[in-house]
Amino acid sequence: MSSATMGANSAAPVLRLLQINVAVLVAMSGTIFACAEGAPAAAWAVPIAWVGLMFVDLRPLLRVNSWVANGLALAVIAAVGFEYFGNTIESRLLAFGHFLCYLSWVLLLQEKKSRQFWWLCALSVLQVATSAVLTSSPWLGLALIVYVTYALLTLSVFSLYRAVSRSAGVEQRTSPDSGSGGPPGSVSRNAVRLESAAKWITPRFFGGVAVNGVMSITLGLLIFVLTPRIWIGQIGVIGGRSLPSARSVTGVSEDVDLGDVGEIMENPDLIMEVQFSDMSTGKAMSVEEFLEAIGAETPLYRGIALDEYSSGHWSMGDIGDTQLPNLEILDSRRHFYQQSIRLRPTGISALFVGPGGVTCRPLQPRMQITHERLRNTFHREASKAALRSETFEYQAYSLGPDEQMSFPSSRSRTARYQQRMSRFPPGLKPVRELAEQTVRVPGEDPLPPAEAARRLVARLRDSGEYGYSLDTTPDDPMADPIVDFLANRKEGHCEFFASSLALMLRAVGIPSRLVTGFKGGAFNENTQFYEIRQLHAHAWVEAFVDNKWVVLDPTPAVRDQTVSANAASSHFWTDLVTKAKDLWMRGMLFSGSQQQRMFVDPLQKSAGGLFSSFTEIGSELGTGFEPDQRRANSRDSALWAVLLVMGMLALIIAGTIAGMRLVGKRIRGKGRRARSAASVAGPPVPFYERFCAILARNGRVREPAQTQREFATTLGDGWKLNGSPALGSDRPGNPLRDSVQQDRVQHDRVQQDSNLPENITTAFYRIRFGRHQLPAGELRALDASLDRWEQSLSNGNPGNGSAR
């Protein structure tokens, strides 16, 4: 069967593939929705899609007719109607999602034509879109990529199916002529031209779809990155609930239950990114340079200062000391060091500030930060939804050791706070005893507070008596966790060490508080930011010694090694997953201000720089043109300069493009001419070239305007080879002339030789224009003739035209 007459039935493989693809797509979208919703109902799409494929599409055993389908659709509407009238946006969204699911199930059970396929695809896309509103977890990113790739394949197959249905074997008729004897109307029949082997679906097709998929997804991601984040609504999305939210763990919680930190020490989730710079020069600094500048030893990022301890639980009370940060100090002559911080959603209002931070300001418009002076902590004013879902960018400012400043509160408040910091909880007698035992050596004078603090730190950190461990299983569950730690287990993590120190300091009369935050971080070469993750969470102590708060870290150094080991102990896949999650979170929290800084600001800077250059040029031009008169307005000159330069640029670009086109045209034309010349000239004909060469040596050259035949004609008799000398010279004294065969051969040779130019030309024409191939014998004969001819010419035979 010729491909041109292939009928619609031949597209059955396409239809089958389409049916399978659509079924898988619907199953995929149902599964995604079920995962996003957190309920398995939508996942019933999988078995229903299978049933639809097997018993409706491939074998029509279970097809639902339109009446039944309509009835089912009404039932669907009724079913989701109840959900829809729930009070929350989430319930309405879920109702909508369920509606899409159920409707697609009804369609799966119907006989499918193009319209049904298209509706299934559209419903599937809407389900995925609804899922994107319900969740923004990292798994959704992978699911989207897989789904989009498969959807592109499905749409491509659908497009192929539609094209085939429209074309293959379709007949079109005009209205038949009426009347008896009249011929029937005109008919046309469409055709399909398959590429090869009567196959619709080829590996090349899949390759094309794959390339298209990659390019489409890449372009889509680019669009995502470049689309302006112009949020116009105040409706908080529901999807934030799957983001890293408030958990009662060190680092990102406003109160601490001792023992919870273990699980986060292996959690690589990114919490924040920090960049250091010198505010005066704007120059970026490494963390080491920063620490050196501000006189700190370790990069500790303060978040929350906890005051009250009770039975293994630290919390902070309200001290009523909240104000806006003092930003006026930034205009003073002090030398500030800047920390640019990008904080992921934590669910809490506390902001984390690096060492020496004295003030803070937000980078996002309409955002507010407050400062608790006594605790020296900073908080962000935002709704709970925003705290859970929005990245916050801010800058913190630190001073060098010689320029430290404090922000005292009212005396009474300060006094109350001091009291609180000194309050030793009841029921911790062993802690007090241990503290006193450490700082009060019999026979010694009471130690100054600083020395006492140092000894307590050394007791915990350096004595070797206490070890670092993430295992928080208590030896005596009835005892206070700190007492159990100090007396029994003698092993714990930073929370225990810090809590112990804070309590021991209070026990000896030194006000202290527990501070939670992060310690350390890793520099990312790509982003040029220090990345602080959950596993960098840490707790330490601040003690009020010598009228200032001093940072004390009693945790043994092995903690840093553990953290580094955890950070470094990345399996390739774990690393990949972590990076992918980071990338996803970065994308999902991509804000307009980030976009601005990433794309718009550099462009603006360049444009601004360019404009400044033009202004300078313009000023100089203005000066040059009007030396004695009042100088023209520099802006006007700049404008002229801009126009001039742009005009020159435009000319250069246009000239380059025109030049390239011209060159390209010439090259193409040459190629075309060469090809056409080659096709006209055809393959070389050796014997004719030899013939021409012989003539050329004897002074006859074909003129360009002459054809070969004309040339042969103009050669005249003088160039014909005289047969007699050939005969004579060939066979001197050959007695065997009476052989008929030899005579015939001789006769032929004479004939050939005597009319050599025409014979050669005729043979040439047969090859060049007739596309014939001469037999080998004939070629040899021609060569032999040429030999003899050449010989005779060189012997100067009469009439050989050498004189011509």
Give residues 604-663 in contact with another protein (rule: CB under 8 A).
604, 607
Least Cβ distance, residue 11 to another protein (angstroms): 10
Tokens 């998929």 belong to which residue? 213
Each residue 328-367 as x (binds another protein by CB under 8 A) or -, in order, gives ----------------------------------------
Sign of CA dihedral 178, 182, 183, 186: negative
Q: Using the minimum distance from each CB to another protein, give the nearer residue, 221 or 654.
A: 221
Listed in sequence order, the DSSP H helices in 227-299 are 287-294
Structure tokens at 532: 């602080």
Structure tokens at 417: 């706070």
Angle at 506 between CA 248 and CA 482, to 5 degrees: 45
DSSP calls for 623-648: HHH-SSSPPPPHHHHHHHHHHHHHHH
Least Cβ distance, residue 114 to another protein (angstroms): 9
Answer for the pair 505, 438: CB distance below 8 angstroms, yes or no. no
- Site residues for another protein, 723-782, by CB under 8 A, read none
Least Cβ distance, residue 44 to another protein (angstroms): 23
Measured CA to CA, the distance from residue 389 to residue 380 in angstroms comes to 14
Residues 6+ apart with CB under 8 A from 778: 763
User: Dmax over Cα atoms in the chain, in whole Å?
Assistant: 154
Q: Using the minimum distance from each CB to another protein, give the nearer residue, 383 or 656.
A: 383
Measured CA to CA, the distance from residue 444 to residue 446 in angstroms comes to 6
**Does 167 contact another protein by CB under 8 A?**
yes
Indicate the SS3 state at residue 526: coil
Q: Using the minimum distance from each CB to another protein, give the nearer residue, 237 or 727.
A: 237
Find the Cα–Cα–Cα–Cα dihedral 62, 65, 68, 71, rounded to 10°: 130
Q: By CB under 8 A, name the one of 46, 51, 163, 774 that touches another protein.
A: 163
Fill in the amino acid letter for 637: S
Least Cβ distance, residue 200 to another protein (angstroms): 7
Answer for the pair 154, 18: CB distance below 8 angstroms, yes or no. yes
Least Cβ distance, residue 177 to another protein (angstroms): 6
654, containing H or E segment: helix 634-681
Q: Using the minimum distance from each CB to another protein, give the nearer residue, 192 or 515.
A: 192
Q: Using the minimum distance from each CB to another protein, give the nearer residue, 433 or 601.
A: 601
Residues 6+ apart with CB under 8 A from 154: 18, 21, 22, 24, 25, 121
- Site residues for another protein, 213-232, by CB under 8 A, read 215-224, 227-232
Measured CA to CA, the distance from residue 124 to residue 122 in angstroms comes to 5
Q: In terms of Cα–Cα distance, which of 167, 64, 53, 161 is closest to 113?
A: 161
Part of the chain binding another protein (CB under 8 A), chosen from 120-128, 494-502, 634-642, 646-654 = 120-128
**Does 156 contact another protein by CB under 8 A?**
yes
Least Cβ distance, residue 646 to another protein (angstroms): 13
Q: Using the minimum distance from each CB to another protein, give the nearer residue, 668 or 737.
A: 668
Least Cβ distance, residue 331 to another protein (angstroms): 25
Measured CA to CA, the distance from residue 147 to residue 33 in angstroms comes to 12
Q: Using the minimum distance from each CB to another protein, give the nearer residue, 224 or 625.
A: 224
Least Cβ distance, residue 746 to another protein (angstroms): 50
- Site residues for another protein, 1-60, by CB under 8 A, read 4-5
Q: Using the minimum distance from each CB to another protein, give the nearer residue, 166 or 548.
A: 166
Least Cβ distance, residue 60 to another protein (angstroms): 26
Q: Which parts of 237-334 are beta strand (E)?
A: 256-257, 270-278, 284-285, 300-306, 308-310, 313-315, 322-323
Q: Using the minimum distance from each CB to another protein, give the nearer residue, 232 or 568.
A: 232
Q: By CB under 8 A, name the one of 185, 671, 699, 716 that touches another protein.
A: 185
In the chain the first and final C-alpha atoms are separated, in Å, by 67
Least Cβ distance, residue 31 to another protein (angstroms): 16
Measured CA to CA, the distance from residue 78 to residue 71 in angstroms comes to 11
Q: Which parts of 389-500 are beta strand (E)?
A: 392-399, 467-468, 491-492
Least Cβ distance, residue 187 to another protein (angstroms): 5
Q: Using the minimum distance from each CB to another protein, give the nearer residue, 229 or 631.
A: 229
Q: Using the minimum distance from each CB to another protein, give the nearer residue, 6 or 721.
A: 6
Least Cβ distance, residue 613 to another protein (angstroms): 16
- Site residues for another protein, 195-214, by CB under 8 A, read 195, 200, 204-205, 208-209, 212
Least Cβ distance, residue 73 to another protein (angstroms): 19
Q: By CB under 8 A, name the one of 87, 113, 181, 426 that touches another protein.
A: 181
Least Cβ distance, residue 675 to another protein (angstroms): 13
Measured CA to CA, the distance from residue 150 to residue 188 in angstroms comes to 37
Structure tokens at 274: 């920090």
Structure tokens at 758: 């025409």
Part of the chain binding another protein (CB under 8 A), chosen from 117-125, 497-505, 733-741, 769-777 = 117-125
Q: Using the minimum distance from each CB to another protein, give the nearer residue, 200 or 485.
A: 200
Least Cβ distance, residue 268 to another protein (angstroms): 22
Q: Using the minimum distance from each CB to another protein, give the nearer residue, 121 or 685.
A: 121
Q: By CB under 8 A, name the one of 174, 323, 410, 773 that touches another protein.
A: 174
Q: By CB under 8 A, name the one of 39, 62, 187, 681 that touches another protein.
A: 187
- Ramachandran sector of residue 113 (left: φ over 0; alpha: ψ -120 to 50; beta: rest): beta
Q: Using the minimum distance from each CB to another protein, give the nearer residue, 133 or 727.
A: 133
How big is the site for another protein, counted in residues (CB under 8 A)? 91
Q: By CB under 8 A, name the one of 179, 443, 770, 777 that touches another protein.
A: 179
Strand pairing category for 300-306 and 171-173: unpaired
Q: Using the minimum distance from each CB to another protein, give the nearer residue, 580 or 701.
A: 580
Part of the chain binding another protein (CB under 8 A), chosen from 158-166, 309-317, 417-425, 470-478 = 158-166
Strands ordered across the beta sheet of 537-545: 300-306, 512-519, 537-545, 548-552
- Site residues for another protein, 489-548, by CB under 8 A, read none
Each residue 77-116 as x (binds another protein by CB under 8 A) or -, in order, gives ----------------------------------------
- Site residues for another protein, 546-605, by CB under 8 A, read 587-590, 592, 596, 600-601, 603-604
- Site residues for another protein, 124-143, by CB under 8 A, read 125-126, 128-129, 132-133, 135-136, 140-141
**Does 296 contact another protein by CB under 8 A?**
no
Structure tokens at 629: 């008169």
Q: Using the minimum distance from each CB to another protein, give the nearer residue, 20 or 145.
A: 145
Q: By CB under 8 A, name the one of 12, 75, 81, 186 that touches another protein.
A: 186
Interaxial angle between packed helices 723-730 and 776-794, expressed in degrees from 0 to 180 and rounded to the nearest 10: 100
Least Cβ distance, residue 190 to another protein (angstroms): 4
- DSSP conformation class of 110: B
Long-range contacts of 121-126 (CB under 8 A, 24+ apart): 121/22, 121/25, 121/151, 121/154, 121/155, 121/158, 123/26, 123/29, 124/25, 124/26, 124/28, 124/29, 124/151, 125/29, 125/151, 126/100
Tokens 């320029």 belong to which residue? 403
- DSSP conformation class of 597: I
